[in-house]
Structure 1
Amino acid sequence: MIIPAVDTPTPGARDGITIRGPVAGTGSPDARDPLGLLDLFGDGFVWDPYPWLEALRTQAPVFQDPGTGLWLVSRHRDIRRVLLDPAAFRPDNAQHAVTPLPAAVLRVLARARFKLPPALANNGTASHAGLRRVVTRFFNAQRVAAAVPVIERIAGELLDTARARINAGDEYDLFASFAQVLPCRVLMELLGIESVDPATLIRWSDASLELFWGRPALPRQLELAESVGEFHQWLTATVRSGKAASDSFIGALARHRLPDGTLLDPQTAVGVCFFVFIAGQSTTGQLIATVLRRALTEPGMWPRVAQEADGAEAWVEEVLRREPPVTTWRRVTARGVELGGVEVPAGAQLLLMLMGSGSDPEVFADPERMCPHRANIRHHLAFGAGRHRCPGASLARTEAAVALRAAARTLPQARLAEGETEPPMLGLLSFRAPLRVAVTGG
């Protein structure tokens, strides 16, 4: 079905999704009413969510946000409980549009025959396990290890251009020209995608994230819906063409049989591809951008990740704990349940605050401090947990570490360009990252 909107509309919607920096009066909660000013799309929350996340965790660990109607779950132990109990907390709403889609936008999607049946993240049916096995075969540890030379080659090509520009005295944006492009090109090679160029796939993926996880105004929604429709039409034509190699990702989906023995229908195959193609490159690009920026701002970290054998891997893991690109995820209660001491009704839309869980002092000592090589670092929930844990976690970790190490070695003198203390930020319901990492060599 077409992705529906959540039941409660967001009042006071603000155009656009990029945030340049903190706005006076919205940077942190009011001590007298810590959650009264909470706006999940507001400048203060997007730019610096940590004070809000701490207020939620300590004062209202299960809190119904009046702006969205979502029940915000912020403690690590409660989020983990939800993720590990898919019978009580279903994934059906994981890909719902957070902003209601008006009739004009739905008509644009309908003309493109846009439909996403339950496939991966939003699939709580018996078909999920088999579909997940198809995906994990292409992203398991062995395949990822074998792909490292591919990642290194593409990273090297992209960074050669960056080095030439920086050596010429120019500023260079490592987000648009490196962090975004690297995972897209890697994914295309790993999955055998040749019928579209990386820039188009990036545009389609970004449009999908903004339309379904953002708060755009109607004119922008209409623009985005056109791009999303193009994306879906291309996926549908690619899946239905029958030209995919048998050992390719789409070829594997074409051969897959559901629990009842029937072949996977094309619409569900398209739904799998829609999720994998976005998660496999957009969110990984966001992770790489955050990893690069945080390494450039942490004293001594840039040369350290270039020199230490596992320095880049350790830094990536710590960034995943503290500042993951996927900041929240959704579930819906199958029945009334007690969660965190609060009675939550059946059908409640839950928003799991993954980003805040990485700073829960019950799990992580001194959580505000960036501390690579923490003993319990893998206890973070940046990739989820349980049967819906991100199947591309190994690839994302590897790409981010290779990208960071290669950038630090190729651009040893790189530093953030002047005025880059407040870059524009991606501020969607479930996704957050810097949208620019401008560097110079001076």
Structure 2
Amino acid sequence: MKPSVYPPTPTPAPTPPPTRTDLLDEGFAACPYATYQALREDHPVHYDEITGLWLVSRYADVRRVLLEPETFRNDNTLDAITQLRLPALRRLAKADFDLPPALFNNSEASHAGLRALAMRLLSAARVRSALPDIERIVSEELDALDEELARTGRADIAQTVARSVPIRVVLHVLGIRNTLDVETLYEWTAASIELFWGRPDPDRQRDLADTVAAFFGWLTEIVQRTDVPEGSLLMALRRHRLPDGSPLGTDQAASVLYTVLVAGHATTGFFTCSAFLRALQGEGTWQWLAEDVERVPAWLEEVLRYDAPLTAWRRVVARPVTLGGVDLPAGAELLLLLTSTGLDTEVFPEPERLCPERPNLRGHLAFGIGVHRCPGAELARAEGAAVLRQAVRRFPDLRWAGPPRPPYLASLAFRAPRHVPVARTGGRQA
């Protein structure tokens, strides 16, 4: 008989969504499951008055949108969800901040070539070749975690391993020689997420814009370097040619680098936070994983399905279309609720249970599908597996040391616990 490693996750009973569903509310971020269920059951394509977006919540509808890029374009994915005020816009303009169509916001002919470039650099083969270095980086960061646990009795996965490993790994895999500390790069990517996918007030916008401007300035310098290593993303960008034969401009190369670094940090870091939280809060789950680390990949797929780090992504309708029984005009902007699709009972029976033996384990849409599927999916999986495997081996007595429901990042596109406090059973108490 198997141990109770994937108990039901308690969620409130579903209630009809309010007319104005506040997707940026911290309460919703902490526990969105009942709202998602109500949307899927009664409002599968629902207009959200606060954001002006149509919420698409069923698996089949979201999958259709992702597989029809000519009808549902991705031109709006990097637009700020909260209107930026003039002080913030001035600061971005002063830094020549611009994100022309590159990877995630590109429905033009140039997308195919840029995607192929990214896929080569982040391919499964390249990830396999990087595994020894990924394992080394993870080991070094877990050494630091071990020291903190020994010194203080507690540590926060969200502020340590989940923050440092993704940044170090993505820079290494992309061949970028980092001249800055991890903390600065983390602050830059976090500021980008808050500015474009959060709800900062005007004063906060101004401060975030300064941070994002500094980030973009560094990226511009990076893509203009002459000492570029062979096989790196920078060399690939330098040699890349657009469909008309022209080279990439500095702004477009910086845009590629910007989106890859932000996504590379956010998805993997947030994924790691959720994986630790679910494993430590599940009755017997951490010990079950420690008994056989080969269970880790399947467990991680279930975490991706249930707690997708990229919770939602945007599209814009190119021509009138009917989706989920709703007639949508050209120009209608959609928000694809990726986390909701992983809870769709039409695809995943008993979706509230984390069941690593599901026959359709990789059927979730956490990384998307089709021509805009996340090019870093295999890298994220490899990092997550490396971190969790090493952690359960080194710390089989690790335990959850926080409240049952920690605060969550409230963002239109990303979701993760802000803190993942841990301690060792019988260890020093802080």
For the aligned pair, the TM-score class normalised by the smaller chain equals over 0.9
Counterpart residue number, 2:36: 53
Q: Partners of 2:152 and 2:101 in 1: how far apart?
A: 50
SS at structure 2 position matched to 1:352: strand
Decide which of 130, 133, 136 is 1:153's aligned counterpart: 136
- Other-structure match for 1:40: 23
Give the aligned partner of residue 10 of structure 1.
none
User: Which residue number corresponds to residue 260 of structure 2?
Assistant: 276
Which residue is equivalent to 2:376? Answer: 392
SS at match of 1:439: strand
Percent identity of paired positions between Structure 1 and Structure 2: 48
2:359 counterpart letter in structure 1: A
- In structure 2, the residue matched to 1:295 is 279
Give the TM-score normalised by the residue count of structure 1. 0.91
Cα distance per residue 1:81-105 (max 9 Å; x no partner) = 0000011100000111000001111
Which residue of structure 2 aligns with residue 219 of structure 1? 203
Give the Å deviation of 1:141.
0.6
| CA-to-aligned-CA distance 1:359-388 (integer Å, 9 cap, x gap) | 000001111111012100111100011000
CA distance in 2, matches of 1:244, 1:156: 28
**Distance of 1:365 and 1:34 partners within structure 2:** 23
Give the distance between the partners of 2:328 and 2:203, measured in 1 at CA: 36
Q: Which moved more, 1:194-203 or 1:268-277?
A: 194-203
In structure 2, how many angstroms separate the alpha carbons of the residues matched to 1:177 and 1:155?
Answer: 11
The whole-number CA distance in structure 2 between the counterparts of 1:370 and 1:294 is: 9
Return the alpha-carbon distance in structure 2 between the equivalents of residues 412 and 163 of structure 1.
12
> Are positions 1:363 and 2:347 aligned together?
yes
Amino acid corresponding to residue 219 of structure 1 in structure 2: D
Q: Is 1:430 paired with 2:413?
A: yes
Secondary structure of the residue that 1:318 maps to in structure 2?
Answer: helix
* Contact 1:28-1:52 within 8 A present in 2 as well: no
For 1:186 and 1:67, the matched residues in 2 are separated by 37
Instruction: Look up the SS of the partner of 2:315 in the other structure.
Output: strand
Q: 1:434 to 1:163 in 2, by over 3 A?
A: same
* Matched-pair contact (CA < 8 Å) for 1:184–1:282: no
**Root mean square deviation of aligned Cα:** 1.5
* Structure 2 residue 55 is the aligned partner of structure 1 residue 65: no
Of residues 180, 183, 193, the one that matches 1:199 is: 183
Q: Would the aligned equivalents of 1:94 and 1:331 in 2 still touch at CA under 8 Å?
A: yes
What's the CA shift string for 1:305-349, capped at 9, x where partnerless?
233242110111000001111000000000111000000111001
Q: How many Å apart are 1:411 and its aligned residue? A: 1.2
1:412 aligns with 2:396: yes
Give the counterpart of 1:244 among 200, 203, 228: 228
The corresponding residue for 1:253 is 237
Q: Which amino acid aligns with 1:377?
A: L
CA displacement, residues 240-299 of structure 1 (integer Å, 9 cap, x when unaligned) = 122222321111100001111111222111110010011112221010011011110111
| Structure-1 residue corresponding to 2:149 | 166
Q: Which amino acid aligns with 1:155?
A: V
- Aligned partner of residue 351 in structure 1, secondary structure: strand
- Equivalent of residue 125 in structure 1, options 105, 108, 114: 108
**Could you report, residue by residue, the CA deviation over 1:189-227 in whole angstroms, capped at 9, with x for unpaired residues?**
122222222111111111001000000111111111001
Displacement of 1:68 in angstroms is: 1.1
Of 326, 342, 364, the match for 1:380: 364
Count of residues in correspondence between the two structures: 414
In the aligned structure 2, how far is the partner of 1:63 from the partner of 1:428?
Answer: 19
Could you tell me how far apart the structure 1 residues matched to 2:371 and 2:260 are? 16
User: Is residue 305 from structure 1 mapped to residue 289 from structure 2 by the alignment?
Assistant: yes
Using the size of structure 2 for normalisation, the TM-score is 0.94
Of 189, 199, 217 in structure 2, the residue corresponding to residue 233 of structure 1 is 217
Asked if the contact 2:103/2:259 (under 8 Å) is kept, the reply is yes
Residue type of the partner of 2:51?
T
Distance in 2, matches of 1:37 and 1:136, equals 39
In the alignment, the residues of structure 1 paired with residue 71 and residue 17 of structure 2 have an alpha-carbon distance, to the nearest angstrom, of 30
Report if aligned partners of 2:20, 2:49 keep a CA contact under 8 Å in 1.
no
Q: Shift of residue 30 of structure 1?
A: 8.2
C-alpha distance in 1, partners of 2:371/2:284?
A: 38
More deviation, 224-233/140-149: 140-149
1:4-55 alpha-carbon deviations (Å, 9 max, x no partner):
xxxxxxxxxxxxxxxxxxxxxxx96884x53335211123311110000001
User: Where do 5+ consecutive residues of structure 2 fail to align?
Assistant: 1-10, 426-430
Q: Hey, what's the Cα distance between the residues in 2 that align with 1:78 and 1:188?
A: 35
- The answer to which of 44-53 and 34-43 deviates more is 34-43
Runs of 4+, deviation exceeding 6 Å: 27-30
Q: Compute the displacement of 1:157 (Å).
A: 1.1
Residues 105 and 169 (structure 1), Cα distance of their counterparts in 2 relative to 1, 3 Å cut: closer
Contact 2:14 2:35 in 1 (8 A): no
Following superposition, the deviation at residue 151 of structure 1 comes to 1.5
Counterpart of 1:176?
Answer: 159
